[in-house]
Amino acid sequence: MPLSLSRRAFALGLPTAGLLAAGQSLPVRAASSQSAPAITPLAQVRVGRFTVTALSDGYADMPYVYFPGRTPEQVEAAAKAQFTARPGGVRFLFNQYLVEDGSSRILIDAGPAGTLGQTGRLPQALAACGLRLDQIEAVIVTHMHQDHLGGLVAGGRRVFPRAEVYVDRRDIAHWTDPAKQAGAPDYLQPSFRLSADLVRLYPNLQATQGDHQIARGVSLVDLAGHTPGHIGVRIEDGGQSLIMVSDMLFPVVHPTMGTDVNFLMEADRPAAQAMRARFFPRAAEEGVLIAATHMPFPGLGRIVSDQGRLTWNVADWAYQD
Ligand SMILES: [Zn+2]
């Protein structure tokens, strides 16, 4: 059975433990349940005293017309060259990251939870780590788009009953503003509705602003542009660091195609372009390990300068001693 399960997963384009282990040398733990319909992808790296576990809520294919600044043909050709082309568009993953140091357990983002594509697998991924939802002590929401906060409010419930939730106050102001909602296109309406649910279901919401340390070695980083209060999270300990940059990067287009290309959901396109133009060279110079929501699982890599051109370099798993 394990072999036929792998084959079926491969045919569906799902990551499987065997494929990742052979292709990328990343340690991937499969769910042990015999009856599980698909393998649960998990991957872990250490950052000083922290263990960072990549989880997946699922995937969706973004139509080639969703990338203003490039023609659909240009995006499709690049996606084909990078094996992320699907009949419906560019394959986007929804990665979340669990950060643990033995005394605290912080989740970064919560996925679309069934509101987009083939998603809703985060609870199963946490269960595969041996965790119940009430064991998550904090959730950082990098911004209030539906594919990052949906999993906190799925089914109109407070999904993480004991979690402290952190969101940048500029995003709260934007996504709870009735005038902004009235003027927004249909495809942004779910994000407004789910943001209202988030504020209602988590009355103890921690509204932060820009750069802000929330625990020793865990800092929010101002990456505003994709949304007004878009943030990243820097995990730092023992001279090692990782930045979860959320939607600074998209498969196929960033950073290889440049910073003058957007994603449909970006309301302030010049602001998104300006932040990428600042961030990409800085990240390349630092050589910092990056985790990105929509990159192929587990979304880990670096921005590197290849003969003067900035490009995404997938991180191989390595022993750190
Ligand atoms: Zn996103």
Q: Kindly indicate the confidence band of residue 26, based on its pLDDT and cuts at 50, 70 and 90.
A: very low
Q: How far apart are the first and last CA of the chain?
A: 37
Q: How far is the CA of 89 from the centre of ligand 1 (A)?
A: 15
Distance 4 CA to ligand 1 centre (A): 33
Q: What's the whole-number mean pLDDT along residues 15-32?
A: 38
- pTM (predicted TM-score): 0.88
Q: What is the pLDDT of residues 264-295, one digit of tens each?
A: 999 999 999 999 999 999 999 999 999 999 99
Taking only the tens place, the pLDDT of each residue in 69-102 is: 999 999 999 999 999 999 999 999 999 999 999 9
φ and ψ at residue 214, rounded to 5 degrees: -105, -20
pLDDT of 258 over the 80 cut: yes
> Ion ligand 1 — residues with CB under 5 Å?
147, 247
**Is residue 77 classed exposed, middle or buried when 0-12, 13-18 and 19+ CB atoms within 10 A define those classes?**
middle
- Residue 162 pLDDT exceeds 90: yes
The answer to whether 253 touches 72, Cβ cutoff 8 Å, is no
What tens digit of pLDDT does each residue of 123-151 get? Answer: 999 999 999 999 999 999 999 999 999 99
Helices (H), 109-164: 122-128, 146-149
Distance in Å, CA 281 to ligand 1 centroid? 22
Q: How far is the CA of 269 from the centre of ligand 1 (A)?
A: 15
- Determine the distance separating the centroid of ligand 1 and the alpha carbon of 293, expressed in angstroms: 7
Instruction: Collapse the DSSP code of 256 into the 3-class scheme (helix H, G, I; strand E, B; otherwise coil) and give the result.
Output: coil
Ligand 1 mean position to 1 CA, how many Å? 35
Domain 29-314 part of CATH 1.10.3720.10: no
Amino acid making up residue 105: R
Residue spans of the domains in the chain: they are: 29-314
